[in-house]
Structure 1
């Protein structure tokens, strides 16, 4: 999720809680450097533009990249997101004919690229209004069911990325139907505080406890992947404008440049600091290896052993041994 309060599986043994998947916009070559702790790479390669059309971004399906990842033992399950105008996705999901057309277009992507599967990351349905909510929710669940059936018939993986669901958020996602159909359901467990809101942590142990309590009640823990943030946001302290994105490296470099001591927030267990920029006071909240180590017990509590990373090359290098320990 890239807006609003709220992305792979390890090979077993002591690495059971490593981020077996990486999800996002970083260069697809990079997962090969962490192949001992990864099993899946999901580069952002495709986007849906209509019921019958799914376009590739520049470089999508580059044979050198796919072959290199496979040689390193990393499965290639590219992400398909959508750039549809408001209401268009709802109209596709609500029509059996248009929905079937879209499933065929997605299966053609999986077939043409000789991939190991697809990751479906359609987020605009989360903002569906009350009038269309139930119809769109049911339509998306049916789309996922049909797509996963088709991918499985091709011996390919079906992964679905969703927003976290709590008692008051995420109602558009039918976790039970998605969890039944998909091989993996990825929870975007980040942006608890987002770039368009007030400053604060991107995730907290308490929030993880709530979203995993809901998710594991509807989906087997073995099918879940928890997406961990490897980045942060740099806000005006008063929240008067949108935050700037920072990677872990950028956040730490800024903290050092400003001469600010390292501090782990006692409640969220995430690093943060403030600094002065001209007349403006700013706050930076981000995540690092120490913070993730404080959050992993929430996953263990619910039996979730698979994690995802948003996104590769944003992260604190010390995160990898932390994840290897679980």
Structure 2
């Protein structure tokens, strides 16, 4: 069906009023209602710098469920350079979160590729300088720790290079976590899911032993440059949680699984990068184009298709409260009680009662 997208989207609302998605099963609805009567702080969430005010107000509104917020504020570009993103270190944000009893543990990403990071991590002096730079960030504000989210360094098919990154990262995290702990600050390490062919540069057993929490990014099973498909799936969660708990033997008390509150809008047949949509945007778009709510029970993910003004077919996969409830059930089976969220301000309001079950 070809539609006048511009006019329809102009009329769409992001408050998610109107027709609702297909409801969760009765058992899920009942448990959500029961959980909402007495919540505990079991959730951690990222706070994107490009959506800071919306995400900040979201965090304060759900402070009774959040133990930690990680502003996405810093990026490593060399051994000694850890640069702040726009608004990094905003004291109003830090103080406001602390006033609600939420710990502030900012995220540090890296822009160095595998060869550059292997060289940095493998050099004792450069590695020590990098730990100093990270500790300077931790001491720059009233932070409660650091979240290290180094991903680009893992992008290599060279097994020998990957092993250098793995070994060097083990040394870095050992040194960084020890210094953070000496100041009574948290050391959080974010990792990709470890499966047969992904996350191989991360030594879960070691990282789980030195960090306070190991955050697994439970999303992007299908990413923006791949063919359309679910961002996560029940079988995928089973696979990487089996590895984390049974093979790597990471303490379940240290494990977090970060859940998606977003999706991708693919143009079918195109090689262009898919467009990012938050859960709220995806639902508003679905209503605007008049697409039925479709839920893939195999993956535990909603999706829909539509045709835009130019006649191009689109396929949208995202996550919502119904799918999240199904994925949380997998965490429960593995004894993992700590969900994370990417990211504050992306989710629909009905996600919070679902997370309250944790």
Bucket of the pairwise TM-score, normalised by the shorter protein:
over 0.9
Does 2:248 correspond to 1:207? Answer: no
Residue 48 of structure 1 aligns with which residue? 76
Residue 289 of structure 1 aligns with which residue? 321
Which residue of 63, 83, 89 corresponds with 2:111? Answer: 83
User: Once superposed, what is the RMSD of the aligned Cα atoms?
Assistant: 1.6
Tell me the distance in 1 between the aligned counterparts of 2:84 and 2:124.
25
Residue 306 of structure 2 aligns with which residue? 275
Shift of 1:114: 2.3
Tell me the distance in 2 between the aligned counterparts of 1:201 and 1:68.
35
- Higher-Rg member (1/2): 2
Shift of 1:145: 0.7
Residue 266 of structure 2 aligns with which residue? 235
Q: Once the two structures are superposed, what CA deviation does each residue of 1:45-84 show, in whole Å capped at 9, x if it has no partner?
A: 1111210121112211111111111010011100011123
Which residue of 285, 303, 310 corresponds with 2:342? Answer: 310
Q: Which runs of 4+ in 1 moved over 3 A?
A: 13-18, 20-26
SS of the counterpart of 1:260?
coil
Tell me the distance in 2 between the aligned counterparts of 1:85 and 1:145.
21
SS of the counterpart of 1:173?
coil
Tell me the distance in 2 between the aligned counterparts of 1:240 and 1:131.
31
**TM-score for both structures, normalised by structure 2:** 0.84
Does 2:196 correspond to 1:172? Answer: no
Which residue of 268, 277, 282 corresponds with 1:251? Answer: 282
Shift of 1:325: 1.9
Shift of 1:257: 1.1
| Greater alpha carbon shift after TM alignment, 223-232 vs 164-173 | 164-173
Shift of 1:23: 4.9
TM-aligned CA distance change 1:85 to 1:164, over 3 Å: closer
Tell me the distance in 1 between the aligned counterparts of 2:83 and 2:113.
15
Residue 333 of structure 2 aligns with which residue? 301
Structure 1 runs not aligned, ≥5 long: 1-12
Residue 98 of structure 2 aligns with which residue? 70
| Greater alpha carbon shift after TM alignment, 229-238 vs 87-96 | 87-96
Residue 112 of structure 1 aligns with which residue? 140
TM-aligned CA distance change 1:171 to 1:86, over 3 Å: closer
Tell me the distance in 2 between the aligned counterparts of 1:208 and 1:239.
29
Q: Once the two structures are superposed, what CA deviation does each residue of 1:95-137 show, in whole Å capped at 9, x if it has no partner?
A: 1111111001101110122210000011012113223121211
User: Where do residues 123-138 of structure 1 align in structure 2 (5 Å cutoff)?
Assistant: 123-128=151-156, 129-138=158-167
Count of residues paired in the alignment: 314
TM-aligned CA distance change 1:303 to 1:239, over 3 Å: farther
User: Are the counterparts in 1 of residues 45 and 344 from structure 2 also a CA contact under 8 Å?
Assistant: no
Residue 22 of structure 2 aligns with which residue? none
Shift of 1:16: 5.6
Does 2:44 correspond to 1:20? Answer: yes
User: Are the counterparts in 1 of residues 230 and 301 from structure 2 also a CA contact under 8 Å?
Assistant: yes
Which residue of 163, 166, 186 corresponds with 2:192? Answer: 163
Q: Once the two structures are superposed, what CA deviation does each residue of 1:142-165 show, in whole Å capped at 9, x if it has no partner?
A: 101100000000110000000000
Tell me the distance in 2 between the aligned counterparts of 1:242 and 1:57.
24
Which residue of 82, 87, 103 corresponds with 2:131? Answer: 103
| Greater alpha carbon shift after TM alignment, 129-138 vs 284-293 | 129-138
User: Where do residues 132-147 of structure 1 align in structure 2 (5 Å cutoff)?
Assistant: 132-147=161-176
User: Are the counterparts in 2 of residues 190 and 229 from structure 1 also a CA contact under 8 Å?
Assistant: yes
Shift of 1:168: 2.4
Does 2:229 correspond to 1:197? Answer: no
Shift of 1:139: 0.4
**TM-score for both structures, normalised by structure 1:** 0.92
